[in-house]
Amino acid sequence: MTELTRDLVIVGAGAAGIAAALQACALGLRPLVLETSPRARPARSSTPWSSSSPDEEALARYLGLAGSGAIEVLRDAAVLGDFPDAGLVVLCADRIHHVRARQWIVAPAQRSFCPAFSGRDGPTVVDADDLPEAWGSGRIGPAARVVVAGAHAEQLRIAALLLREGARLAAVACASAHPPLDGLDGALLPLRPAHGIRRVDGQRITLNALDSDQRPIAGTEACVEADAVVVVYAFQSATELTELLGCAHEPSPDGVGWRCVRDPFMRTSIPNVHVAGEAGQGALIADLQGRVAALAAARALGRRSGAEIDVIAAPLCARLERHREQAMAAIERTRIRPGLFELLDDDAPVCPCEGVSAGALRAALGRDRALLPDASALKLSTRVGMGACQGRGCEDQVRHLLGVSARFTRRPPLCPVPLGVIASDAVARYAGAPEAPGAPEASGPEGGPLPPT
């Protein structure tokens, strides 16, 4: 057990977290950065497969400052949760750290999102997030026949990159009728605008034409043969931590998932918590938001006067505003529309963690709709969303099946942790203290029988 109490803690070391750390350093702060990459690849260097990685120059400066101790870094740190009695509980190399801070900047990881379809969990389907690894390991290599399916602008960039690296594109299926080429040569790509994946059976991929609401058009199924299907539909920011911290969230503008609400200074609805980075909007916006968040945190810590901060922040906020407008316009073109969730055969794995198919959910709703008013009720009765991923991958699909806004309650721990690690922390932290202090009710004020366990 380690207790770490700091002025400023930055959770996440992607483009936004690194920018926040550099800015905080420049203001004379010594931030603690929890490197929490779900890929276990702290301070990742940029890869051609992702446009959200920090640039090399910022990364080099960050690593330099981390090396000199100007930035304090906890590597391989997985946040288990935020607890009223124990602060932020962080798992780091099989040890528990309890972290407290006067100001927080949460720079959440981004993850690719893909709607469910039959065969979604099969070996030929590769998420955008897994592409660098799949390419590096040769799972997809030059000469492979690849279908690239998706909606996000990154889809076409990735398709062009695959082509350049020697892959053979069997089809590029875009949910949008007008894929944003953004300077790419559309003639080189076997584009299928307004198409989505119906199902994947090994190397046999069935595509479906989509209407303007991205709803499948009956009778348009067509098969393509390929060795791999790369899916690039949308990117989501991890919101589990900001949800546990109690920050307000709103539906994400790109049509899937949630977004932590923030003001122009990246302040959330919880006074000492800032958030930085916008999934799917690239490294530049992440960088600007990280710097603005650090400025706001420094001001809250009293390190700089408001006027001084405003002078530095004003041009950053203006640039951010401009880039955000562009990004929002791009999102509007590539946004996932509700019809896409109807490309769902009964054997589609909606919740791969718990093995819950679309058919099982439809059956439960068909039988018990009156008893299942919301996502939590469906979760409890079918286990959908109960797995280690906390339901982030299936929430949107569940919302569509239910026809009402769906939100799963996040539960600690945010990632699985061996019981032995928690038990050791309990022994170190609470040894000798009387059992269950602060819970007189539960022990029975009159010494009576215990309440239900």
Partner 1 sequence: MNVVDAVIVGAGITGCGAAHHLARAGLSVVVLERSAPNRGASGRNAGSLHFQLQHQAPELGPEQRRMLRATVPLLREGAAAWRRLSEELEDDLELEQHGGLMIAESELDVARLQEKHAMEQAWGMRTELMDRASVRSALPGLGEQVQAAVFCPEEGHANPRLVTLALARSARRRGAVVLSGAVVTAIRCEGHSYQVRTADGQRWSAPVVLDAAGAWSGAVAALVGLSLPVEFVPLQVSATERTAPSLAFNVQHVGARLSLKQMRDGSFLVGGGWAAEMRTIEGTTPDDSAVRVRYESLARNVAVAVRVLPSLAAVRLLRTWTGLAAWTGDGLPILGESPAHPRFYVACGGNGFTLGPVFAEVLAGLVLGTASVLELSFLSPARFQPAALGAGSA
Work out which of 376, 384, 392, 393 binds partner 1, going by CB under 8 A: 376
Work out which of 314, 318, 371, 404 binds partner 1, going by CB under 8 A: 371
Question: Taking the complex as a whole, how short is the minimal distance between the CB of residue 98 and partner 1, in angstroms?
Answer: 8
CB atoms within 10 A of CB 338: 13
DSSP single-letter state for residue 377: H
If you compute the radius of gyration of the chain from its CA atoms, what whole number of angstroms results?
23
Which helix H or strand E contains 288, and what residues bound it? helix 282-300
Specify the residue, 181 or 415, whose C-beta has the smaller distance to partner 1: 415
Work out which of 315, 405, 419, 432 binds partner 1, going by CB under 8 A: 419
CB atoms within 10 A of CB 80: 22
Handedness of CA 74, 79, 80, 84 (dihedral sign): positive
CB 166 within 8 A of CB 189: no
Specify the residue, 204 or 411, whose C-beta has the smaller distance to partner 1: 411
Question: Taking the complex as a whole, how short is the minimal distance between the CB of residue 363 and partner 1, in angstroms?
Answer: 13
Residue of 280, 230, 289 whose CA lies nearest to 20:
289
Residue 403 contacts partner 1 per CB under 8 A: no
Residue 446 contacts partner 1 per CB under 8 A: yes
Residue 326 phi, psi (nearest 5): -60, -45
Using the rule CB under 8 A, give the single segment among 176-184, 210-218, 255-263, 408-416 that binds partner 1: 408-416
CB 163 within 8 A of CB 169: yes
Using the rule CB under 8 A, give the single segment among 124-132, 158-166, 222-230, 414-422 that binds partner 1: 414-422
Question: Taking the complex as a whole, how short is the minimal distance between the CB of residue 378 and partner 1, in angstroms?
Answer: 10
User: Crossing angle, helix 358-368 and helix 375-382, to 10 degrees?
Assistant: 110
CB atoms within 10 A of CB 62: 23
Question: Taking the complex as a whole, how short is the minimal distance between the CB of residue 121 and partner 1, in angstroms?
Answer: 18
User: Crossing angle, helix 375-382 and helix 395-402, to 10 degrees?
Assistant: 110
CB 63 within 8 A of CB 81: no
Using the rule CB under 8 A, give the single segment among 265-273, 317-325, 343-351, 415-423 that binds partner 1: 415-423
Work out which of 69, 366, 403, 420 binds partner 1, going by CB under 8 A: 420
Residue 365 contacts partner 1 per CB under 8 A: no
Please give the Cα distance from 442 to 452 (Å, whole number): 9
Site string for partner 1, 78-97 (x = CB under 8 A): ---x-xxxx--x--------
Q: Are strands 228-232 and 125-127 parallel, antiparallel or unpaired?
A: parallel
Using the rule CB under 8 A, give the single segment among 52-60, 157-165, 231-239, 407-415 that binds partner 1: 407-415
Residue 432 contacts partner 1 per CB under 8 A: no
By CB under 8 A, name the binding residues for partner 1. 81, 83-86, 89, 367-368, 370-374, 376-377, 380-381, 383, 386-388, 411-413, 416-420, 422-423, 425-427, 429-430, 435-439, 441-444, 446-453
